[in-house]
Amino acid sequence: MASERRSTAAFFDIDQTLVRGASSYHLARELYWHDFFSFRDIAFAFRQSLLYLLLGEDPNRIDKIVRRALRAMKGHSVAEVMAIGADFVTDLYDERLFAGTVNILRQHQALGHEVWLVSATPQEVTGLLAQRVGATGSLGTQVATTDDGVYLEELRTPLMHGDAKARAVKQLAAERNIDLAASWAYSDSKSALPLLSLVGHPVAINPDTALREHAKAHGWPIADFRGGIRFLHTRSARRSAYLAGGVWVATTLLRRFPRR
């Protein structure tokens, strides 16, 4: 009996890979308007977002963000966050997505590949964004809840970051019969090296300095879509998707796939 055909997948990080900036700040700003956070909380989130853009990821800053966010989420319901998240994700899609990265995502979809978003962002948000871009699904951080759907001040799963991100993708691949050697992964940060090293086709998108140097040393493709303001809702965004993303896809990505 012939063995079951294995799937090919593309795994996309969210912050600075698919979405411009840190989604934690964008989410905190939205929750602030719904009385989840105080002004001091939003100022803290803004500062962390700025440091992320300037200096890249830092484990200590990430831990501070997580602990502060858990305190704010405690006592609120999942249904409440999902309702807020729907508007939040629409804003991200209209204003904050990198057109070039979206073009790459669309190319994978056109080739029949599974597309997964993998991020430390809460699962409720990654799931909504995955639906918005038409991805197969998402892997995000899960916050613990009571039986009736109220958030607790603790995580149900490890933070979807670093090694945890790679372990989750490896488990998903086993469950869905995904061939990781034939699959792709996209990220901006060296913290994603465990995931990038797991697949046959790692790609650095808008990379921080450490990931850029690693990618160069290992011959990984690099794409940078940060030049200029290119959001999907503008007329120029559709053109930039071909200039920044489409040309890169045609010359770097598609030539790696076998002809049918």
Per-residue model confidence as pLDDT tens digits over 96-142: 889 899 999 999 999 999 999 999 888 888 888 899 899 999 999 88
Catalytic residue among 13, 91, 94, 163: 13
In angstroms, rounded to a whole number, what is the distance separating the alpha carbons of residues 194 and 241?
28
Tokens of 243: 């200039």
Amino acid at residue number 106 = R
**Residue 13 falls in the annotated catalytic set:** yes
Q: How many CA atoms lie within 13 A of 208 on its CB side?
A: 19
pLDDT of residue 37: 65
Q: What is the mean pLDDT of the chain?
A: 78
pLDDT at 6 over 50: yes
Task: Give, for 153, the enclosing helix (H) or strand (E).
Answer: strand 151-155
If one compares 167 and 63, the residue with the highest pLDDT of the two is 167
- Termini Cα distance of the chain: 24
Q: Which among 197, 161, 164, 203 is positioned nearest to 181, based on CA atoms? A: 197
If one compares 160 and 171, the residue with the highest pLDDT of the two is 171
CA dihedral angle for residue 166, residue 169, residue 173, residue 178, rounded to 10 degrees: -90
**Residue 63 falls in the annotated catalytic set:** no
In angstroms, rounded to a whole number, what is the distance separating the alpha carbons of residues 40 and 202?
39
Per-residue model confidence as pLDDT tens digits over 208-258: 999 999 999 999 999 999 874 343 333 443 343 334 344 444 344 444 444
In angstroms, rounded to a whole number, what is the distance separating the alpha carbons of residues 149 and 79?
8
pLDDT of residue 198: 97
pLDDT of residue 135: 96
State pTM to two decimals. 0.75
* HEC per residue, 209-235: HHHHHHHHHHCCCEECCCCCCCCCCCH
Per-residue model confidence as pLDDT tens digits over 14-38: 988 998 876 666 666 666 676 676 6
pLDDT at 84 over 90: no
If one compares 13 and 128, the residue with the highest pLDDT of the two is 13
In angstroms, rounded to a whole number, what is the distance separating the alpha carbons of residues 142 and 152?
11
pLDDT of residue 254: 44
Rg (C-alpha) for the chain, rounded Å, is 18
Q: Tell me the sheet residues that pair with 141.
A: 122
